[in-house]
Every structure is written in structure tokens, then in C-alpha cells.
Amino acid sequence: MKILVIGSGGREHAIVWRLAQDGAGHALFCAPGNAGIEALATTVPIGAEDVEGLTAWVRGNRPDLVVVGPEAPLCAGLADAIAALGVPVFGPCQAAARLEGSKAFSKEIMMVAGVPTARAEIFKDVTQAIAALERFDLPVVVKADGLAAGKGVIIAQTRAEAEEALRGMLEAGRFGAAGAEVLIEEFLEGEEASVFALCDGEHVALLPAAQDHKRVNDHDEGPNTGGMGAYTPAPIATPEVMAQVRDRVVLPTLRALRERGIVYRGVLFCGLMIGPKGVNVLEFNCRFGDPETEVVLPMLKGNFAALLLACAQGRLDASAVGTESGAAVTVVMAAPGYPGAYPKGLEISGVAEAEAIGCVVFHAGTAMREGKLVTAGGRVLTVTARGTNLREAVDNAYAGVAKIHFEGAHFRRDIAAKAFRHLH
């Protein structure tokens, strides 16, 4: 197949890599791609959010399938524009992508569908929002409604912190239009897990659950990041939990959307909280998560392109989705200072050595400068390894990390540590 993947991060590298594993001789293209993707696909110099430019490329090149990585172009209607050309696209239409683009819309759909989720109230007026804090226990969660680059969720430990968050969004415009409407939400105790649901609008296939590590430092300390590593399968997501995700979360959500004339085709990312109140949905995303994609896709059996095409064309056979035995772990290597200010242009060595011992190294923020691989982002590389069990996968991943060097490289040393509490 001739396939265009859209995006430039570690997630897109993992998607391109997994498509290349099909062994079907796909002609792979990626817009705009990155230094790692260049070895697997022809990169196309069009930005992921350039809907007009991407649509023109699709019109002129007629790929058999387009796979959209990031959320912003989906929320901007890229899938609709491509589908209008008669080209299959893996990624939801603009109306369906509102599940990520608007937390208020997402919460509304969850309530209609009976999906278990935290109690929430929605506000545009700061005075009303502050008054509503009386109806919530502490800590309390304050969320910007729209896309805020993963920074629009604040867990306020005190009433003063909650008021500051509300004023920052509704009065000071901290997140621009994304924060013009806010949700105040009850705080849920428990452990988080991520589940990808492949959807064709009606049918669904769940991929193995993963657990991300958001804080920058070991023991879940320090500021939140885009994710410092992940592992799969997550033992907290038992077969009973996965059945609930399918039957009480994903299928009712797809049904509620169809009742509004919205067909969801693509991957539905379910961010879950599993705890004393059972399984609750924290958030929906309309695309593969990062870095979970880098750890889940290497566990997937079969022809990946055929699977994505079946979703795009509304003919998914869930029984055809298989996964490898064992476990996988990915460790993010970040630039010094991340998630704050960080330098770029630091030379990277050892990637080939890590790959030589069996790791897959996905590029998240790299570039080629004068023939040398250098850092070009906060999260630089994700080092993924499989094993016959979780312990072996952890050891293999960290053996790969030890081979790679750049000045000030930062990574967590406790990826998957939570899992062992459940396994013993």
C-alpha cells in the first residue's frame, strides 16, 4: 500500500516503524517526519497542521491510506478534507475529534452514554466558577475546555490554588480560547492506565493497556511532562477492567456519537483512573497517545496497515487483532531542563549500539546537522525493548538507554516499578 503518515514525533516514528514491519512492501511517506523516520519513509516537507497543503498532496499523490498522528489537525478537520477526496483516512472526523478538542463536549457525551467518569460542572463565568468550589472536596481538578498542549489540567490542593487556576484561565486568558470555558471536576483516587481502542464507527478492538509515567523524576516527583516512559501490559488493567472499558466505555460512546450522526473511525484513547470508585474515564483523546504508542505497537501482531484500513473503511474484525506474549517497556531520554527550558543541538551517540542489542529507538526530538544526530526537542528519544516478562523487558530497555549518550541526558530509572507491586 501507499501510505501517508502525518506528524513528526516519537508516536509517528512508531507508527511508521510498525507499518514497515508488515513485510508487505508498503510505500511509506511521512509529513513532515523526523530524523529517525527518514530511514523508513520518504519525508514530505509539509507541517502536520497545514490542512490545505496536506490535502493538496493527497489529491496529487492518491495514497491508499492516510494515518493522522496528532490531535490538532484532526480537530481542524483534516480527516474530513481527505475523506472528501475519496481517500481512506485513519483518524476521526472533526465532529468526533471534539472528544479531545472540547472537554465539555466529551463530558456531555460521557454523561449521555452512561460512561463512568468524575462529577464535573462547566463554567464560562469566573464568579460562578469560584462559587461552585464550595460543592467540591479538595483536592479539586480544574480543566481548560480546549486543546492546551497537555498543560490545561491543574490539580488544586487548596481553595486558593483552585481560585488562582480559575482566574488564570477565565480572566487572564492563560490558555487563550482553550481556557474560555472550564470544567471543575472531582478528584479521583487510584492508578492511571491508558487503553487504545481501534474503532470503525461501530466495532471496537482494544489493544493491551499501558501505563504512562507523567512526572519528570523518579517516584512520581517533579513537574508533569508529556510522558517519561511506559510499559505494557499494565497488570492493574485486569481482564475484568478491559471488559468494562469495552462494554461500559467505548461501545456506549460510539453509540452516543452515532445517535448524533457522528461516526468515529480511528483510535479512541481512553485515559482511565482505576481505584476505590472502580474504573472511571479521566479523558478521551482522538489519537494514539505518546509514549504509549511506542510500547504498545511493538506488541501488535499481524498486518498493521490492513487493520488501520479496515477501521477507516468501517469493516473492522476485532477477532483479527492479536498481540505478542511477554511485555514491553519504553524509556524516554529527555534534554536537560525538560519540561522547562532546554538546550538544542546536543550531539547524540550510541543509537546504533542500542539497536544492536535488540532495542527499537524511536526519535521524538532529533535532527541531523552536518551529518550528526543532535537533540531538537525536550523529549529526545524513546528506547523500547520487549521481554518474555516485564522484568526482562525493563532490563533490556535500560541496557539500551545505557548505550546512548548526549550531554545532560535525563531519564527516569523507575519505569514500570508500579507494576511489580501488582505482580508480587
Please report which helix (H) or strand (E) contains residue 352, including its range: helix 351-356
pLDDT confidence of 213, banded at 50, 70, 90? very high
Answer whether residue 314 is part of any domain: no
Contact assessment for residue 36 and residue 363, using Cβ atoms and an 8 Å cutoff: yes
Answer whether residue 155 is part of any domain: yes
Is the predicted pLDDT of residue 174 greater than 90, yes or no?
A: no
Last residue of one domain, picked from the residues 131, 159, 186: 186
Answer whether residue 267 is part of any domain: no
Regarding whether 18 and 70 lie in a shared domain, the answer is: yes
The mean of the pLDDT values for the chain is 95
Answer whether residue 394 is part of any domain: no
Answer whether residue 49 is part of any domain: yes
CATH number at residue 74: 3.40.50.20
For 103-118, how does the pLDDT look when each residue is reduced to its tens digit (9 = 90+)?
Answer: 999 999 999 999 999 9
Is the predicted pLDDT of residue 374 greater than 90, yes or no?
A: yes
Regarding whether 74 and 21 lie in a shared domain, the answer is: yes
- Residue 142 CB neighbour total at 10 angstroms: 27
On the question of a cis peptide bond just before residue 252, with omega within 30 degrees of 0, the verdict is: no
- Put residue 241 in one of left, alpha, beta given phi > 0 → left and psi -120 to 50 → alpha: alpha
Nearest to 333 by CA among 368, 369, 361: 361
CATH number at residue 129: 3.30.1490.20
pLDDT confidence of 367, banded at 50, 70, 90? very high
Name the 3-class secondary structure at 45: coil
Last residue of one domain, picked from the residues 186, 221, 245: 186
Determine what percent of the chain is predicted with pLDDT higher than 90.
Answer: 91
Is the predicted pLDDT of residue 224 greater than 90, yes or no?
A: no
pLDDT confidence of 327, banded at 50, 70, 90? very high
Residue numbers of the domain that contains 165: 119-186
Determine what percent of the chain is predicted with pLDDT higher than 70.
Answer: 99
Regarding whether 178 and 127 lie in a shared domain, the answer is: yes
Q: How buried is residue 33: exposed, middle or buried, by Cβ count under 10 Å (0-12/13-18/19+)?
A: buried
Is the predicted pLDDT of residue 36 greater than 90, yes or no?
A: yes
Query: Phi/psi of residue 39, each to 5°?
Result: -80, -15
pLDDT confidence of 424, banded at 50, 70, 90? low
The arithmetic mean of pLDDT across residues 301-323, rounded, is 94
For 244-287, how does the pLDDT look when each residue is reduced to its tens digit (9 = 90+)?
Answer: 999 999 999 999 999 999 999 999 999 999 998 899 999 999 99
Regarding whether 17 and 91 lie in a shared domain, the answer is: yes
Answer whether residue 62 is part of any domain: yes
Q: What is the structure's pLDDT at 23? A: 83
For 115-141, how does the pLDDT look when each residue is reduced to its tens digit (9 = 90+)?
Answer: 999 999 999 999 999 999 999 999 999
Regarding whether 138 and 77 lie in a shared domain, the answer is: no
Is the predicted pLDDT of residue 71 greater than 80, yes or no?
A: yes
Is the predicted pLDDT of residue 320 greater than 90, yes or no?
A: no
Contact assessment for residue 363 and residue 376, using Cβ atoms and an 8 Å cutoff: no
Q: Amino acid identity of 414?
A: D
Regarding whether 125 and 68 lie in a shared domain, the answer is: no
Nearest to 145 by CA among 113, 178, 121: 178
Answer whether residue 80 is part of any domain: yes
Provide the b/e sequence for 107-132 (b: ≥16 CB within 10 Å).
bebbeebebbbbebbbbeebeebbeb
The arithmetic mean of pLDDT across residues 169-187, rounded, is 91
Answer whether residue 51 is part of any domain: yes
Last residue of one domain, picked from the residues 163, 186, 209: 186
Regarding whether 70 and 145 lie in a shared domain, the answer is: no
- Residue 260 CB neighbour total at 10 angstroms: 10
Regarding whether 81 and 45 lie in a shared domain, the answer is: yes
Is the predicted pLDDT of residue 422 greater than 80, yes or no?
A: no
Give the CA angle between residues 100, 104, 106 to the nearest 5°.
45
Q: What is the structure's pLDDT at 402? A: 98
The arithmetic mean of pLDDT across residues 339-367, rounded, is 97
Specify the residue for cell string 525538560: 338
What is the number of structural domains in the chain?
2
Cα(first)–Cα(last) distance of the chain, in Å? Answer: 45
